[in-house]
Amino acid sequence: MKKYILLSCTLVVLFFAFKEQESKTVYIIGDSTAANKASRTFPETGWGMAFAKLFNQQVKVDNRALNGRSTKSFKRDVAKDGKIVDHWKPIFDNLRRGDYVFIQFGHNDEKIDKPNVGTSLEEFEQNLIFYIDQTLEKGAIPVLLTPIARRKFENGLLIKTHGEYPAIIRKVASNTHTALIDMEDKTTKLVKSYGETGSQRLFLYVDSGDSNYPKGKKDDTHLNTVGASEVANLVVEGIRELQLPVQKDLMGK
């Protein structure tokens, strides 16, 4: 009987050790379009918030995207008191083999008039390679994402607003053989499908009198709950197209 109990306990320990080893974390690094939002900004919603609900218990989505950050300021953020904060290092320190890092920047790298945030195209490229190399160093899997489209229409046509930054992401993905989900392309098609007026339903458009926005809000960059869900589904579409192993942990596969 004692041997039986000992064997049973050993099997239970091995089972849970295997289950723990099998689990993985998907990190998101990026800007406000993906970030978690406080209740005081609702209905503003980062797509990472919706994305986190689409996996089974074997996957933890750790959304580290932050408002206003770029490839530069995510790893070298100058705080108001002048201190330098590295948001990347805690992720790097905890990365495990088989984890994923979804990397989506561009909205703030474009702001070259802000020296602590904006980057040249050359610096942008080198920063992306830095995140890829560091992720690979830990045996984790980097996935590049181009930035989502802004809702900017001129004469009835949706205008691209990210300049050459998405092209740099595509170039880096190709040169480094890194998985790429072209979210600029996917969200451009999404916004066009809703039309110039209808696409307001995806973004932070709030009538006056709202408890969080008493004067109302018209924001063509940040998503609402509907937009975040739609964009998260497009990220999942990209995962399936790339046939990333983590697709087996998606709900409703």
69 in a structural domain: yes
217 in a structural domain: yes
**pLDDT at position 228 over 80:** yes
> Could you tell me whether strands 77-78 and 84-85 are parallel, antiparallel, or unpaired per DSSP bridges?
antiparallel
66: nearest Cα among 80, 85, 53, 81: 85
16 in a structural domain: no
CATH number where 185 lies:
3.40.50.1110
Cα 121 from Cα 163, distance rounded (Å): 10
Burial of residue 242 (number of CB atoms within 10 Å: 0-12, 13-18, 19+): middle
Beta carbons within 8 Å of 134's beta carbon, 6+ residues apart: 88, 92
Where do we find the tokens 């089974």? 56
pLDDT tens for residues 134-172? 999 999 999 999 999 999 999 999 999 999 999 999 999
- Do residues 251 and 54 lie in contact, with contact meaning Cβ atoms separated by under 8 Å? yes
In this predicted structure, what is the pLDDT of residue 251? Answer: 86
pLDDT tens for residues 72-129? 999 999 877 788 999 999 999 999 999 999 999 999 999 999 999 999 999 999 999 9
In this predicted structure, what is the pLDDT of residue 253? Answer: 53
Cα 125 from Cα 175, distance rounded (Å): 11
154 in a structural domain: yes
17 in a structural domain: no
Residues of the domain holding 157: 24-249
Cα 128 from Cα 75, distance rounded (Å): 11
Q: How far is CA 69 from the centre of its chain?
A: 12
99 in a structural domain: yes
**pLDDT at position 215 over 90:** yes
135 in a structural domain: yes
DSSP H/E element including 132: helix 121-137
Lowest mean pLDDT segment, chosen from 8-12, 212-216, 217-221: 8-12
Cα 190 from Cα 227, distance rounded (Å): 10
**pLDDT at position 2 over 70:** no
Cα 210 from Cα 245, distance rounded (Å): 42
- Do residues 149 and 192 lie in contact, with contact meaning Cβ atoms separated by under 8 Å? no
**pLDDT at position 13 over 80:** no
Q: Which pair of tokens denotes residue 123?
A: 């610096």
Cα 31 from Cα 108, distance rounded (Å): 8
* Number of independent structural domains in the chain: 1
Beta carbons within 8 Å of 18's beta carbon, 6+ residues apart: none
What percentage of the chain exceeds 90 in pLDDT? Answer: 87
